[in-house]
Chains A and B, each alone.
Chain A
Amino acid sequence: MRDYRSESARLREIVSGLLERGEVELVVAWTEGEDRPRTRETLIGKGREDLLRKVVWSPFCTTSTVTFLKKNKAALAGKRLGVVVKDCDLQALNVLLQEHFLKREDLVIIGVRCDGLAEADLFPRPEGAEVPITSDGGGVTVGKQRRAWEDSGFTTCLTCSYEDMKPDHVVGEYGRKKGKPEWGHLARLQALEPGKRREHYAALFESCIRCYACREVCPVCACVECAIDPGERAITPRTAPSVKACAPVWACRERSVSENAVYLLTRTMHMAGRCVRCGWCERACPVGLPLMEILDLSNDAVRRVYRYEVGRDPADPPFLASYAETDPDDKGAGH
């Protein structure tokens, strides 16, 4: 059984050590906020005992510290940082390192061994800091409330197969065998006849309210200017009027099946070989769209057809920037 109170204490030791010794200027870690057991990514500097005291690691660390790095890239540029990551966060970090979005030498990586995540909303608010949070092979327990992993709100964790990553520091030991990357919904969807499948996806696209939370929370969705925004983000005072006038509008603001599909499918295409299946987009979606049902279409192709494992090593070539002699698409191409 894992006791996350003692693992959190160990994590605090590492974080405060790094800051004390001046190995890093700042650390991005999860802390407990107002809405326990929910946690939040927090930037901690030397001397911020108030924040350090709240540093925590538990299955409720469901957000991504890598998204935090992405969002604060400009403000953190050139600073030496410590960052606490779960297995999926480290995968995402590797993707960004592969793409030279971040520099490895700027980072000290503190890995927490993750057995899976749980949705805080499904658990009662623990009254008092002493309420223990534990987990074992079967599920998560907060105080008296226990839920099986299967009922804890994170389906992606059940098929997470990533382990034994090599961060600079490690906290915790796995308490549960990692799952197999088999995604049931794909088989189910692919068994549908095309008309029905189309209906299924059309209904899914239709309910999107275009809040873009899925894009914004994604740790690897890191373009400065997204193809979907009508060219408004990267404008400088020197941008020529003709450039502004000609900015392509791939998906207009209309909320309709077709426009929403352009958004969600474009995102899926851009995530090919980059999506680490952390599942945060799906969990963040305020209208509950099963986004993995779209993303896994490309995730599956990447894994099965191209045998590419996303974000395993920062030294791997990025999926879309690499060529393998075994590329099945090349077979028998008469050139």
Chain B
Amino acid sequence: MKDEYIPVVTEVADIRTETPPGDRMIRTLRVQKEGKAPFAHLPGQCAMISAFGRGEAMISIACPPNGEYLEFSILLQGAVTTDLQYLEKGEKIALRGPYGNSFPVDEWKGRRVIVVGGGIGIAPLRSVYGHVVRHPADYAGLDIFYGARDSQSIIYKQELFDLLEKRKANVHLSIDRPEPGWNHFVGFVAANLTRAAPSPQNAVAITCGPPIHITVTLDVLKKLGFSEDQVYTTLERKMKCGFGKCGRCNIGEVYTCVKGPVFSLARLRRLLPEGLPDK
């Protein structure tokens, strides 16, 4: 029988420093095992990454399924992520997974995908927009709304500017306060979304970010006429086991690590009020 606790040992194939060193540093680690992805995954799934001696942390897989590698964008946060910050290219990293459910990207074929990310919340959504970019013929279009507190905190910068230039997606970037040289939107993501007012017609919207970002985004989407089964989000919960046993990640009878972290708003409403993000 497979011992679910035993992680696979993989290699850090590449590291991108997304935001400058400091208390909110984000680095993207690309990991491989013998030149391939250590396991297959679906957009929205997560993996439990070990920092031995410190513990484990559940981190969403930030790249679309590709068979070649997995990527994780890791925000400096606590003990585990502090340790991971010191990993260098070529070093080993142990992880287990994939865990959780995924965004139903196959069901969405033929529709327009609208991504609304705040801060580090763009990371799990990248597995979706990356997937849409890889299969442009399958979808009716792609909008990416993404904002961070300042321009330095914008991650995947190069990739997003590329998508914009090559017209592979409508990318709407924003930062919270004005900055010299910033010629995109200034204000919160939700304000940017209100301004662009994408049509709910034949579309799905997915959002992730800090609880307040999710709450406000859900409000805006509702005003724009999106119905609750057109809106998806991924939730954060404290996780330890990752496979529905340790008992801490539940919302009502649903274990987020198994039947989440991806929820449609309609499904979230059917769960107990505990599931809705804090006001």
Contact = CB atoms under 8 A, between A and B. Distances in A.
Scoring A244, A245, A247 by chain B CB atoms within 10 A of each residue's CB, the highest score goes to: A245
Contacts of A247: 79
A240 B23 contact: yes
B100 to A, nearest CB: 24
A245 B79 contact: yes
B23 A242 contact: yes
A241 interface: yes
B252 to A, nearest CB: 24
Interface in A244-277: 244-245, 247
Nearest to A249: B79
Contacts of B79: 244-245, 247
Nearest to B80: A245
B279 to A, nearest CB: 15
Nearest to B23: A240
B168 to A, nearest CB: 35
A241 B51 CA distance: 15
Interface string B62-104: 0000000000000011110111000000000000000000000
Interface range, A side: under 10
Nearest to B82: A245
Contacts of A241: 23, 76-78, 81-82
B23 A244 contact: no
Nearest to A247: B79
Nearest to B54: A245
A244 B82 CA distance: 9
Q: Is the interface of B mostly helix, strand, loop or mixed?
A: loop
A327 to B, nearest CB: 41
Interface string A225-243: 0000000000000001110
Nearest to B79: A245
A240 B81 CA distance: 12
A242 B81 CA distance: 10
Contacts of B82: 241-242, 244-245
Nearest to A231: B79
Nearest to A242: B82
Scoring B76, B77, B79 by chain A CB atoms within 10 A of each residue's CB, the highest score goes to: B79
Interface string B18-37: 00000100000000000000
Contacts of A242: 23, 82
Contacts of B83: 245
Nearest to A241: B76
A220 B81 CA distance: 36
Nearest to B24: A241
B183 to A, nearest CB: 31
Interface string B211-238: 0000000000000000000000000000
Interface in B150-188: none
A245 B79 CA distance: 4
B3 to A, nearest CB: 20
B213 to A, nearest CB: 14
Contacts of A240: 23
Contacts of B81: 241
Scoring B23, B76, B78, B82 by chain A CB atoms within 10 A of each residue's CB, the highest score goes to: B78
B55 to A, nearest CB: 10
A245 B76 CA distance: 10
Contacts of B23: 240-242
Contacts of A245: 54, 78-79, 82-83
A241 B23 CA distance: 6
A240 to B, nearest CB: 5
Nearest to B77: A241
A233 to B, nearest CB: 14
Interface in B78-135: 78-79, 81-83
Nearest to B83: A245
B210 to A, nearest CB: 9
A246 to B, nearest CB: 8
A245 B81 CA distance: 9
A2 B82 CA distance: 63
Interface string A321-335: 000000000000000
Scoring A240, A241, A242, A244 by chain B CB atoms within 10 A of each residue's CB, the highest score goes to: A241
A241 B78 CA distance: 5
A242 B82 CA distance: 7
19 contacts: A240-B23, A241-B23, A241-B76, A241-B77, A241-B78, A241-B81, A241-B82, A242-B23, A242-B82, A244-B77, A244-B78, A244-B79, A244-B82, A245-B54, A245-B78, A245-B79, A245-B82, A245-B83, A247-B79
Closest CB pairs A-B (n = 3): A245-B82, A244-B78, A245-B79
Given A241-B23, A241-B82, 11 more contacts: A240-B23, A241-B76, A241-B77, A241-B78, A241-B81, A242-B23, A244-B77, A244-B79, A245-B54, A245-B78, A245-B82
